[in-house]
Amino acid sequence: MTERIIPIADARYHAAVPPVPDAPAAPVGHLEDARGRRLHDLRISVTDRCNFRCTYCMPKAVFDKDYRFLPQSSLLSFEEITRLVRIFIGHGVEKIRLTGGEPLLRKDLHRLIAMLSPLRTARGAPLDLTLTTNGSLLTRKAQALRDAGLQRVTVSLDALDDRAFRAMNDVDFPVSDVLAGIEAADRAGLAPLKINMVVKRGVNDHEIVPMVRHFRGTGHIVRFIEFMDVGASNGWRLDDVVPSADVIERIRAVFPLEPIDPNYPGEVAERWRLRDGSGEIGVISSVTQPFCGSCTRARLSTEGRLYTCLFAIGGHDLRALLRGGCDDAAISGALAALWQARSDRYSEIRASNTTDLRRIEMSYIGG
Ligand code: SAM
Ligand code: SF4
Ligand code: SF4
């Protein structure tokens, strides 16, 4: 029998405590990295746990009963998250996405929403606050999230066909419950929803056109995402990727499409409109058309590590600063130095890098 070594997540990935500058400059609501990209979006993972085992994200062979998730004491508290968000806002962050694991598994998540939703950006506007979920708990939680101030949700849905959906989530979860969750979110006022579908060749690509057909006329926007080589456990192969250009061709053969302008410069999804006016779709081409040049995202892990790229192998331990008695000015200064030094552009140079097994997992950092 081969012996398995199961490290706990705290020790699994490398994280350095960022140095605190002696005399940190006050934040000015704008911060650029070494490639001139500003700090604009922050994705916050609120749990590393999930009730699904999507084969491309948390394969059962790795995330089994012996897998050790983070202990409760490691997690950032809602107060710690809110304190960090204020500091990020000082540097120009305007968009916050809560993610996971499955964010709705985090107890009382609506309390965090209620703490974040009154915050204002450095320019005095409301924060763009949203959440990505697998939808399984939305029927129960949509209204409380909305009441706490959440504006929108993105629901991941990889197939409408129940058999294909159960095979992809690998826990036999029925698609009807996710569809009911989408309706509950719509009724609660979290619309229009974005519906994200990760496309894997030979697994769910036959669902591309049915997905467009199902959601046209609802106002919800389906976005097709190229399967990415994130993490080290999903057995990624380039052959499994259906390029977005093919996705568009397949849809176009049934529903004529025309391109639409981005909502803002550097938007990750490429937008298309159904010519008959019945809906909008999007494609996210992380593999075939990397968008590192306009990547303005930072990611905060469940236990408070900052990652400046989805494909980073090292994080920066902000929790150590929070719990080590640093004041906001010191943490703000440390964050500024980290972002200013950032030069990541993994997707542009992916070919030479796909075999590094220390890369963080999507379920750890939240996509
Ligand atoms: N559990 C929530 C969910 O599924 O929406 C939030 C976390 S999940 C990691 C965030 C997003 O990452 C989901 O839309 C998921 O489909 C996507 N994702 C996970 N692994 C991926 C991969 N290898 N390539 C592309 N997208 C992936
Ligand atoms: Fe869970 Fe989301 Fe990953 Fe699926 S994609 S295993 S729902 S975290
Ligand atoms: Fe941003 Fe890294 Fe993705 Fe490039 S590879 S778009 S830098 S997260």
Q: Is 299 helix (H, G, I), strand (E, B) or coil?
A: strand
pTM: 0.93
pLDDT at 266 over 80: no
Using a 6 Å CB cutoff, which residues line ligand 2? Answer: 50, 52-54, 57-58, 100-102, 134, 156, 363
2: in domain = no
pLDDT grade for 364, boundaries at 50, 70 and 90:
confident
pLDDT at 179 over 70: yes
- Identify the weakest region by mean pLDDT among 84-93, 121-130, 204-213, 283-292: 283-292
The reported pLDDT for the residue numbered 12 is 60
DSSP secondary structure string for all residues of 316-362: EEHHHHHHTT--HHHHHHHHHHHHHT----GGGGGGGTTT-TTPPPH
The reported pLDDT for the residue numbered 363 is 77
- Identify the weakest region by mean pLDDT among 8-17, 164-173, 341-350: 8-17
358: in domain = yes
DSSP secondary structure string for all residues of 192-237: SPEEEEEEBTTTTGGGHHHHHHHHTTSS-EEEEEE----SSSS---
pLDDT at 212 over 80: yes
| Percent share of the chain, pLDDT over 70 | 92
- In angstroms, the CA 199 to CA 192 distance is 22
- The tally of domains found in the chain comes to 1
Residue range(s) defining the domain that contains residue 155: 8-365
Q: What is the CATH number of the domain that holds 100?
A: 3.20.20.70
Using a 6 Å CB cutoff, which residues line ligand 1? Answer: 50, 56-57, 99-100, 102, 132-134, 156, 196, 198, 225, 227-228, 230, 234, 362-363, 366-367
Q: Is 273 helix (H, G, I), strand (E, B) or coil?
A: strand
3: in domain = no
What does pLDDT average to over the chain? Answer: 92
**What ranges make up the beta strands (E) of 56-187?**
95-99, 128-133, 152-156
1: in domain = no
pLDDT grade for 361, boundaries at 50, 70 and 90:
confident
Given a contact cutoff of 8 angstroms between Cβ atoms, the answer to whether 259 and 252 are in contact is no
108: in domain = yes
The reported pLDDT for the residue numbered 293 is 92
Rounded average pLDDT over 245-267:
93
The β-bridge partners of 152 are 130
194: in domain = yes
pLDDT digits (tens, 9 = 90+) for 36-80: 999 999 999 999 999 999 998 999 999 999 999 999 999 999 999
Q: How far is CA 241 from CA 124, 204, 254, 269, in A?
A: 41, 11, 21, 17
Higher pLDDT, 310 or 14: 310
Strand pairing of 41-45 and 95-99? Answer: parallel
Closest CA to 322 of 310, 332, 309, 308: 332
Sign of the torsion angle spanned by Cα atoms 224, 230, 234, 240 = positive
Residue with tokens 């294909």: 164
| Mutation test residue for ligand 2: of 45, 156, 200, 225, the one with most atoms within 8 Å of CB | 156
85: in domain = yes
96: in domain = yes
- In angstroms, the CA 207 to CA 199 distance is 9
Total residues found in the chain within this entry: 367
The reported pLDDT for the residue numbered 362 is 76
